[in-house]
């Protein structure tokens, strides 16, 4: 709600990315939504976050589709007559904690925060009003979802009933050596699957890469500039004060009774009294009495800590203490703590020689960035005006012309070529027939590429002579799969008829729809559809990998549905799933009823 909207427009691109029933979704709105999603994913994934995922067209389209859905929901809410009263809007905004001082709404803080985000109160209130209306609409849809008791019980039963099974897989590989395809089979497979042996349209290209990082390497930075940056940005190189703490926790919940809290405090005070006489026993007492299992086994040691990690009451006390001091009891949401400060690692500044290289890189990048926009525009003009060669642009900007191997429209490497917009330009008539440079395309942030086609090959079907080995291998696999399925079905029929069949059944395991134990959906369906009046029972199913899975069912474990609390929880989960399905279906219907146009080249 508090992400600012930065107004900017990429040169040469349309100002909007989609139109919803005549209303444009502006590019700046889309770019802001991308930034919001970027930060949300960074927060969720932490160290596993990779910003490259936002170069993926599918990810960008998903963000755009979300914006479209919001527009559709708002339009539908207006059409069905939903409104937001001023009093309702006021209550909603006043309840937002970011606008409060001492748990009271502050209009001054409200205006200040909106001003930082380049928003007026009217703009923000319009946005909140739209969100309330959308929520009202979705709540009406959600309330229409009903799960009958019979359906809930049947689904609960199917979710929890278990069957113990053994299985044997009959693999096609067992029959490969027995298969020798004849010429007619080979020719038939080739004739019916020619599209599988199609060589896609391909090109070889030469290209120039203009990037901020490469330009930065060409910049010169003096020792004085590095020294000046270091002296004026000391906060960037500071190391916060850290304190090594140990504690003994006597745990008690915030919701505990006064009597329970008093009992916990008394226990902590008793330990503190003992430590005042024998402080050297802190680790021993922590191991014996602390109810923090992680630190208790370490004698209460929490390691070195800095501000911002601990709960406020603990932190405020720790950073007031002197080395070897013991204090307590300190009450927090976790209970009562006795704290010992073992050591202090004072704040420090990293020496210049350790950060000099980093400063140099940053200054080079700053210098290059200050003129990169102008250089990129000149680069774009040059490759366009001198469209029959890249050589002049290479000489003017000090770049080297690179050449690729054969690439097609689905090429994934190298990343600077694999950009969808660049490949679209490379395979255009302008590049292939007219032999012109592509425009300078931003393939990733601060990186522009212009390419030129050197050689082109249209798509073509490879002859049978060229792909014979592939065809023979596929025909053999196909025939072996048929043989595996035939043998599996024959053995299954024998087992179901009560005949003895020598099989090496695998280890027994208990499976259910909720705990599949690696079984695929088709196998699970076969297991739970099988008649189990007489055990063992047998069933089988062909697998997606070509194998045939023979299954023996040994016993069935019926679920206990008498636990009403458990059943009600399950019924609630089932209803939530149905609600989500209803909302998704409703949104799909809206998408079909309203006129939506996406500028595919713009997202």
**DSSP assignment letter at 437:** P
Is the pLDDT at 13 greater than 50, yes or no? no
- For residue 602, the model assigns a pLDDT of 60
The tens digit of pLDDT for each residue in 333-355 reads 899 999 999 999 887 778 888 88
- The CATH number of domain 16-144+594-602, selected from 1.10.1060.10, 1.10.4030.10, 3.30.1360.30, 3.30.420.40: 1.10.4030.10
- Is there a contact between 35 and 3 (Cβ–Cβ < 8 Å)? yes
pLDDT digits (tens, 9 = 90+) for 400-421: 999 999 999 988 888 888 888 8
Q: Nearest 5°: CA angle at 241, between 240 and 245?
A: 130
Rounded CA-CA distance 575/430 in Å is 55
Please give the average per-residue pLDDT across 307-320, as a whole number. 88
**C-beta of residue 551 within 8 angstroms of C-beta of residue 540:** yes
10 — pLDDT class (breaks 50, 70, 90):
very low
66/134 Cα distance (integer angstroms): 13
The H or E element spanning position 18 is strand 16-20
Q: Tell me, what's the pLDDT at 595?
A: 87
Given a cut of 50, is residue 58 above it in pLDDT?
yes
Q: What is the predicted pLDDT for the residue at 490?
A: 94
Banded pLDDT at 2 (limits 50, 70, 90) = very low
Residue among 403, 440, 422, 428 nearest 201 (CA): 428
C-alpha distance from residue 575 to each of 147, 153, 514, 568 (Å)? 6, 12, 17, 10
**241-346 is a CATH 3.10.50.40 domain:** yes
Query: Hey, which CATH number is domain 201-222+355-458, 3.30.67, 1.10.3470, 3.10.50, 3.40.50?
Result: 3.10.50
Cα-based distances in Å from 49 to 39, 221, 446, 524, 553: 10, 32, 20, 35, 44
Give yes or no for residue 299 having a pLDDT over 70.
yes
Q: Please tell me what DSSP assigns to residue 182.
A: -
Would you say residue 43 has pLDDT above 80? no
Among candidates 120, 113, 122, which has minimal Cα distance to 86? 122
Decide: helix, strand or coil at residue 260.
Answer: helix
- How many helices (H) and strands (E) would you count in the chain? 20, 21
pLDDT digits (tens, 9 = 90+) for 215-254: 888 889 999 999 988 888 776 787 778 899 999 999 998 8
Q: Are strands 548-557 and 162-170 parallel, antiparallel or unpaired?
A: antiparallel
| Closest among 410, 480, 417, 485 to 449, alpha carbons compared | 417
pLDDT, position 265: 94
pLDDT at 519 over 90: no
For the chain, what's the residue count?
603
Q: What one-character-per-residue DSSP string does 503-528 give?
A: ------EEE-SS--TT--HHHHHHHH
Q: Average pLDDT, whole number, for the chain?
A: 86
User: pLDDT value at position 6?
Assistant: 30
Give 583's Cβ-side CA count (13 Å radius).
18
Share of the chain above pLDDT 70, in %: 95
pLDDT at 44 over 50: yes
Question: Which residues are paired to 336 by β-bridges?
Answer: 250, 331
Q: What's the whole-number mean pLDDT along residues 454-467? A: 92
End-to-end CA distance of the chain: 23
Q: Domain coordinates of the chain in residue numbers?
A: 16-144+594-602, 162-171+464-557, 201-222+355-458, 241-346
**What pLDDT was estimated at residue 280?**
92
Residue 545, H or E segment: none
CA distances from 289 to 286, 293, 332, 467 (A): 5, 10, 18, 74
**Confidence class for position 284, pLDDT limits 50, 70, 90:** very high
Cβ neighbours of residue 42 closer than 8 Å, sequence gap 6 or more: 49, 51
Give the whole-angstrom CA distance, residue 537 versus residue 162.
Answer: 14
**Confidence at 100, pLDDT banded by 50, 70, 90:** confident
Fold: same for 201-222+355-458 and 241-346? yes
Q: In 421-502, which ranges are E strands?
A: 441-444, 447-457, 460-461
- Helix (H) or strand (E) holding 237, with range, is none
57 token code pair? 């067209």
- For residue 12, the model assigns a pLDDT of 39
- Predicted pLDDT of residue 121: 85
Per mean pLDDT, which range of 17-31, 279-293, 323-337, 376-390 is the poorest?
17-31
Q: How confident is the model at residue 125 (pLDDT cuts 50, 70, 90)?
A: confident
């Amino acid at each position: 709600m508090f992400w600012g909207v930065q107004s900017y427009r990429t040169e040469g691109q349309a100002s909007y990315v989609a139109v919803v029933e005549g209303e444009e979704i502006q590019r700046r709105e889309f770019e802001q939504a991308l930034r919001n999603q970027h930060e949300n994913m960074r927060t969720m994934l932490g160290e596993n976050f990779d910003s490259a995922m936002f170069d993926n067209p599918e990810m960008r389209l998903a963000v755009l589709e979300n914006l479209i859905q919001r527009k559709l929901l708002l339009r539908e809410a207006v059409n069905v007559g939903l409104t937001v009263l001023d009093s309702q809007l006021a209550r909603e905004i006043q309840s937002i904690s970011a606008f409060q001082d001492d748990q009271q709404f502050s209009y001054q803080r409200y205006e200040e925060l909106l001003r930082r985000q380049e928003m007026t109160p009217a703009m923000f209130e319009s946005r909140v009003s739209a969100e309330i209306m959308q929520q009202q609409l979705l709540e009406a849809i959600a309330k229409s979802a009903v799960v009958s008791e019979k359906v809930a019980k049947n689904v609960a039963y199917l979710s929890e009933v278990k069957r113990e099974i053994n299985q044997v897989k009959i693999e096609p590989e067992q029959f490969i050596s027995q298969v020798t395809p004849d010429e007619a089979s080979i020719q038939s497979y080739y004739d019916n699957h020619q599209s599988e042996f199609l060589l896609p349209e391909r090109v070889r290209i030469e290209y120039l890469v203009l990037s901020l990082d490469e330009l930065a390497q060409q910049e010169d930075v003096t020792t004085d500039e590095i020294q000046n940056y270091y002296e004026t940005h000391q906060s960037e190189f500071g190391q916060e004060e850290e304190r090594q703490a140990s504690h003994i926790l006597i745990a008690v919940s915030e919701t505990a009774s006064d009597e329970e809290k008093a009992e916990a405090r008394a226990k902590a005070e008793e330990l503190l009294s003992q430590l005042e006489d024998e402080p050297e026993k802190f680790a021993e007492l922590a191991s014996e009495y602390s109810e923090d299992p992680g630190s208790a086994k370490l004698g209460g040691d929490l390691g070195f800590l800095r501000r911002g990690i601990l709960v406020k009451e603990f932190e405020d006390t720790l950073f007031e203490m002197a080395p070897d001091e013991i204090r307590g009891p300190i009450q927090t949401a976790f209970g009562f703590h006795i704290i010992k400060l073992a050591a202090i690692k004072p704040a420090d500044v990293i020496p210049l020689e350790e950060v000099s290289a980093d400063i140099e890189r940053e200054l080079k990048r700053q210098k290059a960035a200050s003129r990169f926009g102008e250089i990129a525009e000149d680069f774009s003009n040059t490759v366009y005006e001198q469209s029959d060669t890249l050589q002049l642009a290479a000489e003017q900007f000090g770049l080297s012309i690179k050449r690729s191997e054969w690439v097609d429209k689905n090429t994934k490497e190298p990343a600077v070529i694999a950009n969808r917009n660049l490949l679209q330009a490379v395979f255009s008539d302008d590049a292939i027939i007219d032999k012109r440079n592509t425009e300078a395309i931003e393939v990733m942030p601060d990186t522009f590429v212009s390419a030129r086609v050197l050689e082109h090959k249209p798509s073509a079907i490879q002859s049978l002579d060229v792909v014979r080995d592939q065809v023979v291998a596929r025909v053999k696999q196909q025939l072996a799969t048929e043989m595996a399925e035939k043998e599996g079905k024959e053995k299954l029929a024998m087992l179901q008829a009560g005949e003895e069949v020598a099989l090496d059944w695998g280890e027994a395991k208990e499976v259910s729809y909720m705990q599949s134990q690696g079984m695929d959906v088709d196998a699970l369906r076969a297991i739970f559809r099988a008649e189990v009046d007489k055990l063992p029972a047998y069933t089988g199913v062909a697998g997606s990998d070509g194998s045939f899975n023979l299954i023996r069912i040994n016993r069935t474990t019926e679920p206990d549905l008498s636990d009403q609390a458990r059943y009600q929880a399950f019924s609630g989960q089932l209803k939530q799933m149905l609600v989500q399905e209803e909302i998704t279906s409703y949104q799909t219907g809206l998408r079909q009823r309203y006129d939506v146009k996406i500028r595919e080249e713009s997202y």
